[in-house]
Amino acid sequence: MSEAEDATKVREFWERAAASERDEQGLRPVARDPFLQEAVEAGMERWLDSRAKVADIGCGDGYSTLRFARNVASIVGVDYIPKFVDRARDEARQRGVSNASFRTGNVLDLEPIRAEEGPVDIAISIRCLINLNNWDQQRQGMEQIARTVRPGGLWLVSEGWSGGLRGLNELRKHTTLPPIVAAKYNVLIEREQFEAVATSFFKIEAYINLGFYLVMSRVLQPLVELPYPARHDHPINQLAANLQDGCSDSTLFRDCDYAGIYVLRRNGV
């Protein structure tokens, strides 16, 4: 399959996903693991500022955007699927959130967003770049985000880190569990490559390590559940997510962390 066909398939996947609020397992298609999503959002929330103008790139249904809206001056959610943008706008209207707006836009070209919104104090991206076809496009997306953040501003980013998935599969090798295979529309990112490009625009201010949660939910819970399949809404995941909060600053299971959050500070002032 060519990359052009890949891109069409990924877009079709998100267009279908945008048509329904929940999938067949009752989970949000944009964030199927509710406890992981909670850990990511809570980790990012601490870096928000009530005076900040924020952009949430690849915002999907806008639920996280609307959560972040409570802690900032204004936020724009951007997604390339118009149906998600419409749904997010409706949700904002229903909840009476007036400082959040939503726009259709592509992370590969954020110029129209910059033209409308100007530079932002904080950019957020949660699992957006992993939908792009290859590292070249991911690097382009990173550059686009960097150009959207004002000097001294922040980029809070949780994507899919390939080393973390390898680490989890190393652990699973010692069990009867099969390896986890990344979703076929996701291109996970090597952290070293990411950091090499990120540090030409940003300083790494912090890294929030989610390895503990991932080991508990992707290794321990599936073992406890055998022969039944693992579940994203399992009480072990909930417990692990609660405990995760206390070990985000440690390096515990960092080699199994495929979803950790980089806090990046834009160069210049």
Ligand X SMILES: C[S@@+](CC[C@H](N)C(=O)[O-])C[C@H]1O[C@@H](n2cnc3c(N)ncnc32)[C@H](O)[C@@H]1O
Q: Which is nearer to ligand X, 127 or 172 (CB)?
A: 127
* Closest separation in Å from C-beta 1 to ligand X: 17
Which residues form the interface with ligand X (CB under 6 A)? Answer: 14, 30-31, 58-60, 64, 79-81, 84, 106-108, 126-128, 131
74-79 and 202-208 as β-strands: parallel, antiparallel, unpaired?
A: unpaired
Half-sphere exposure at residue 164, Cβ-oriented, CA atoms within 13 angstroms: 25
Q: In this structure, what is the dihedral angle of CA atoms 6, 12, 124, 213, given to the nearest 10 degrees? A: -80
Q: Which of 243, 242, 207, 244 is nearest to 47 (CA)?
A: 207
Q: Which C-beta is closer to ligand X: that of 25 or that of 175?
A: 25
State how far Cα 194 lies from the chain centre. 14
Q: C-beta of 18: minimal distance to ligand X in Å?
A: 7
- Min dist CB 63 to ligand X, Å, is 6
Least Å from the CB of residue 264 to ligand X: 17
Nearer to ligand X, 103 or 266 (CB): 103
Shortest approach of ligand X to residue 65 CB, angstroms?
8
**Closest CA relative to residue 166, chosen from 233, 218, 244, 125:** 218
Q: Which is nearer to ligand X, 137 or 267 (CB)?
A: 137
| CB-count burial class (<10 Å; 0-12, 13-18, 19+) for 179 | exposed
> How many CB atoms are located within 10 Å of the residue 65 CB?
27
Q: How far is the CB of 268 from ligand X (least distance, A)?
A: 25
- C-alpha span between 90 and 85 (Å, rounded): 9
- Strand ranges across the sheet with 120-126: 100-104, 74-79, 53-57, 120-126, 149-158, 261-266, 202-208
Q: Which CB, 124 or 216, lies closer to ligand X? A: 124
For ligand X, the closer of residues 110 and 219 by Cβ is 110
70 three-class SS: coil
